[in-house]
A and B are shown apart, each in its own frame.
Chain A
Amino acid sequence: MPVIKNEYQGRKPDEFRILLGLEGYPDSRNIKTYIEKSNGYKALEKVLKGGMSSEDVINTVKASGLRGRGGAGFPTGLKWSFVPKGPGEKYLITNFDEGEPGTYKDCYISEVTPHSLVEGKIIASYAIGAKKSYIYIRGEFHNEIRWCQEAIKEAYAAGYLGENIMGSGFTHHMDVYSGAGAYICGEETGLISSLEGKKGQPKLKPPFPAIKGYLGKPTVVNNVESLAVVPWIINNGPEAYKKFGTEKSPGTKLFNVSGPIAKPGCYELPLGYPLMRFINEDCGGLIGGKKLKAIIPGGSSAPALTAKECENLTLDYEAIAGAGSMLGSGAIIVIPEDVSMVSVLENLMDFYAHESCGQCTPCREGTGWLYKISKHILKGKGTKTDMDRMYSIANNMRGKTICVLSDAAADPARAIVTKFAHEFEPYLKG
């Protein structure tokens, strides 16, 4: 059973806020508010005027234990350190595609505190030696695009972007790139392809983007949340950051809660926070006192957990992986007792079949096949062998493709057909 930290007892989520400190301020997106109320651009000053080398910045982020908040949880500082040192073009790209169903935390960051992203990006770019960075953002996020553009404009006007920033000799330019809206463009190499003007399809690895990325140059792709928290880490030091969270999952994380729950929304929590306490107390529990059937803990690609499996579970990378799912983007989807898992499966498979880029055969054909079978089952036209077939198809899609979209479809399918097999029986012909 995971150990729940005593310090969380009796405290509300907003007491752990690092990233969302400006939440509630009327002009939180304004650079003035950011500077006055949130130590805005102090971290950048500390880096550029305080004599921090790029190595110092990388080491600080490494020491904080910050793990990428896009879903995979790869250590951020380590990722930066893979970029070759020395001269030559390098790029930093922010992954703001945010296409995983249930996930809207990055949108919330741009709504509340876009300057923390801009400042984090400048610092990260300094660390890897990038003179140019992009925010790759999903095209339908009209407001978010505008908010990011405004923040960049303000940062240019204040001298935090452009040539020779604060007289440090460091030059950096930033742009917003609006994507056409494809789930796969949230995969870093698919995103790079899209940014290059090609169809959004993942690229073979190796070579990895840190060596050969955007336009063939070394590139780091970081999630919005990973970058937005960097100024706080620089300002307060890695040890302060590590006071939050668990040993292997330090810091805070944004969690989105969706589904029939009293207080859905975006919350900042320290990692290791008790899941059911969060659902039942902080989020007010399920609407109408309904019983919980299942939770998808990390966006739609995370295998669903039964209500039983959620008991005593904490919100951190290790605990959720230990339960057979993943923390992913931290998008918690709550499924109540009266929702059929057959229809959940059909809905998810519909999504993945639509979003598969079509490049790798097992994913292109497998996602469509899973969707067709789940659709037939939902219509009451399935058979018992369809259940085994779905499991076999999903098994043979896993780990067989360039990116993990195939796994993202296969894992939820496997989890649902095994954990909720009894729910399928009424739908099967015989």
Chain B
Amino acid sequence: MSETVTLTIDGKEVTVPKGTSIIEATEILGVEIPRFCWHPGLSVAGVCRFCMVKIEGMPKLQIACNTACTEGMKVITVSDEVKDAHKWALEFHLINHPLDCPICDQAGECELQNYYMKVGRYSSQMDEDKVLKPKALDVGDNLVLDTERCILCSRCVRFEDEVTKTSSLGIFNRGDHSVIGTFPNRKVQHNYSYNIVDICPVGAFTAKDFRFKCRVWFLNETKTICPGCSTGCNVTLYEHKNQRQYYRLKPRKNLEVNGHWMCDEGRTMYEHLNATNRLAAPIMQGKHLSWNLLSKELKQKLEKVKGNAAKVALVLTPQYTNEEYENILSSLNSILGGLPNIFVWRDSKEKFDDFDGILMRGDRNANSKGLAQTLEKKSAQAIPLSGDFSPLASANAELVIVFGPEIEKAYSQFATEVSRFAEMTNVVYFGTTLNPIAKKFSLTIPTKVFAEKNGTFVNFKGIPQKLKANPLVFPAMKGIEDIFAEMKA
């Protein structure tokens, strides 16, 4: 058992493991000490000098981020002396910071702005000219840097040094002319660059992807899981309150899964949610079919092979939820009188064991483990389809039911591979986007996207995680569970 120490913070007793910093201890108690440079996923820099606290017996105020808790320590965060220190720390941060909040892209999420309201609210004593620094610097594929807004907290530099180990950023110059910048011939070019925007407490780093597109107060937040790979990063999905338009994904802290970060590829997972070619209604032999007639048509197809499950081929991709797999398999089992032949379609270029050392896995499917678990539970054997579709062709199925990938771009050979289904007769294809092959299928059925689903993904470690649904973009759309429930009825 690890050693602990007990201390009081503003009179409240707390016991923490030895080595815990005061700022971490305050988090346990729910006491908020203002901070800019401290970030739980990075080393301690101690440079913003904002998290000052009084420790009984020490003559000077101390920074809470670099002071370890000791037995019997008495910490005070609410005295006039401490409040004055916070106010002055904020004054120093603001004297050369442009007051361009109305146009700053960080407005609404700016820690400087928030702390001004919480611990500042003073009239500035600064009436000298501000130091002017460069604006709108292109520092990488995804980032724009306004150095004039930067408060030199060094989070971005530490992220580059410690997390991605790419060390593209540094602090150049001295004194109040210090600026963040890239080293010569270097740019921030890696798959984790947007995290720098997240950890920047002010509007210095902005995402090219989001910059000037939307004000954050127009966005709704949904806590869900990224479908971009088998890591299952915990994310917040931001959707416009009125436009049914998705704007971005940001990571949520989960130390067991993704820590504080997510990759840039995962960030783009919102793009297909806004796709103009999303399937909105079922299609039967090239013509739209109403949702009301869909279950009738599907039921007829299944009735024809009832009692002959071996004549049915079911193709699953590892991007659906556990609940959907459960529903598909149990429904088909009961309708057909047995389980059909099951095929699992994966990207032929997939390198299952690839890992970039941070978060991203070679398995780009969100629920490989969940699918495997569900098949095992049903004692079902699946035949892999990965590049080679001959096992499916040789099955000579009378009915082929395909649950295609939601994230089609995770399948590098998607366009080629999906066309192979068109060579078969009587294909019922479930998917999210309208592709050129769709009209060749006997039935094409739209499915919900991850943002519209409640359900479970199981990540590569075997950790089950819940998705939370947003309202449907096409309100009439039925989920897999609805379609099968109607057929059973």
A357 to chain B: which residues have CB within 8 Å?
174-175, 178
A396 to chain B: which residues have CB within 8 Å?
85, 88, 91-92
B29 to chain A: which residues have CB within 8 Å?
none
Q: Is B152 an interface residue (CB 8 A)?
A: yes
Interface contact A369-B177, CB-CB below 8 Å: no
Interface contact A355-B128, CB-CB below 8 Å: no
Interface contact A368-B175, CB-CB below 8 Å: yes
Contact with A along B38-73 (1 / 0, CB 8 A): 000000111111101000000011000010000000
Measured CB to CB, the closest approach of chain A to B355, in angstroms, equals 28
Q: Is A298 an interface residue (CB 8 A)?
A: no
Which of B47, B50, B96 interacts with A402 by CB under 8 Å?
B47
Contact with A along B10-50 (1 / 0, CB 8 A): 00000000000000000000000000000000001111111
Which of B47, B61, B126, B154 interacts with A399 by CB under 8 Å?
B61
Interface contact A400-B85, CB-CB below 8 Å: yes
Q: Roughly how many angstroms separate A399 CA and B177 CA in the complex, as a whole number?
A: 22
Q: Roughly how many angstroms separate A372 CA and B178 CA in the complex, as a whole number?
A: 16
Interface contact A362-B128, CB-CB below 8 Å: no
Q: Is A194 an interface residue (CB 8 A)?
A: no
B170 to chain A: which residues have CB within 8 Å?
199
Q: A361-B47, A361-B89, A365-B96 are in contact. Are A389 and B173 (CB under 8 A)?
A: no
Which of B50, B60, B92 interacts with A365 by CB under 8 Å?
B92
Interface contact A400-B61, CB-CB below 8 Å: yes
B85 to chain A: which residues have CB within 8 Å?
396, 400
Interface contact B175-A204, CB-CB below 8 Å: no
Interface contact B125-A361, CB-CB below 8 Å: no
Interface contact A355-B93, CB-CB below 8 Å: no
A368 to chain B: which residues have CB within 8 Å?
96, 131, 175-176
Interface contact A400-B49, CB-CB below 8 Å: yes
Most chain B CB inside 10 Å of its own CB: which residue of A365, A367, A389, A401:
A365
Contact with B along A191-234 (1 / 0, CB 8 A): 00000000100001010000000000000000000000000000
Measured CB to CB, the closest approach of chain B to A218, in angstroms, equals 20
Interface contact B66-A364, CB-CB below 8 Å: no
Interface contact A358-B176, CB-CB below 8 Å: yes
Q: Roughly how many angstroms separate A362 CA and B87 CA in the complex, as a whole number?
A: 12
Main secondary structure of the interface of A (DSSP, over half): helix
A373 to chain B: which residues have CB within 8 Å?
128
Q: A360-B47, A360-B49 are in contact. Are A365 and B61 (CB under 8 A)?
A: no
B93 to chain A: which residues have CB within 8 Å?
361, 365
Number of A-B contacts (CB under 8 A): 92
B154 to chain A: which residues have CB within 8 Å?
359
Q: List A355-392 residues whose CB lies under 8 Å from chain B.
A: 355-362, 364-369, 372-373, 376, 389, 392
Q: Which single residue of chain A is at the shortest CB-CB distance from B94?
A: A365
Q: Is B335 an interface residue (CB 8 A)?
A: no
Q: Is B95 an interface residue (CB 8 A)?
A: yes
Q: Is B151 an interface residue (CB 8 A)?
A: yes
Interface contact B174-A389, CB-CB below 8 Å: no
Q: Is A354 an interface residue (CB 8 A)?
A: yes
Q: Roughly how many angstroms separate A356 CA and B129 CA in the complex, as a whole number?
A: 19
Q: Is B78 an interface residue (CB 8 A)?
A: no
Q: Roughly how many angstroms separate A182 CA and B452 CA in the complex, as a whole number?
A: 58
Q: A359-B47, A364-B152, A400-B61 are in contact. Are A369 and B126 (CB under 8 A)?
A: yes
Q: Roughly how many angstroms separate A206 CA and B70 CA in the complex, as a whole number?
A: 14
Interface contact A364-B176, CB-CB below 8 Å: yes
Q: Which single residue of chain B is at the shortest CB-CB distance from A357?
A: B174
Q: Is B171 an interface residue (CB 8 A)?
A: yes
Q: Roughly how many angstroms separate A359 CA and B178 CA in the complex, as a whole number?
A: 8
Measured CB to CB, the closest approach of chain B to A194, in angstroms, equals 13
A393 to chain B: which residues have CB within 8 Å?
125
A366 to chain B: which residues have CB within 8 Å?
92
Q: Roughly how many angstroms separate A361 CA and B60 CA in the complex, as a whole number?
A: 17
Interface contact A356-B89, CB-CB below 8 Å: no
Q: Which single residue of chain A is at the shortest CB-CB distance from B67?
A: A206
Measured CB to CB, the closest approach of chain A to B316, in angstroms, equals 52
Q: Is A269 an interface residue (CB 8 A)?
A: no
Q: Which single residue of chain B is at the shortest CB-CB distance from A376?
A: B128
Interface contact B151-A358, CB-CB below 8 Å: no
Q: A358-B152, A365-B93 are in contact. Are A199 and B171 (CB under 8 A)?
A: yes
Q: Which single residue of chain B is at the shortest CB-CB distance from A386?
A: B127
A206 to chain B: which residues have CB within 8 Å?
66
Contact with A along B147-181 (1 / 0, CB 8 A): 00001101000000000000000110111111000
Q: Is A415 an interface residue (CB 8 A)?
A: no
Interface contact A358-B171, CB-CB below 8 Å: yes
Q: Is A353 an interface residue (CB 8 A)?
A: yes
Measured CB to CB, the closest approach of chain A to B36, in angstroms, equals 8
Q: List A307-332 residues whose CB lies under 8 Å from chain B.
A: none
Q: Which single residue of chain B is at the shortest CB-CB distance from A365?
A: B92
B46 to chain A: which residues have CB within 8 Å?
204, 360, 402
Q: Which single residue of chain B is at the shortest CB-CB distance from A400?
A: B49
Interface contact A358-B49, CB-CB below 8 Å: no
Q: Which single residue of chain A is at the shortest CB-CB distance from B153?
A: A361
What 7 pairs across the A-B complex have the smallest Cβ distances?
A358-B178, A368-B176, A356-B175, A396-B88, A372-B128, A365-B92, A399-B60
Known: A199-B170, A364-B92, A368-B175. 7 other contacts (CB 8 A): A353-B175, A357-B174, A360-B49, A361-B50, A361-B92, A368-B176, A376-B128
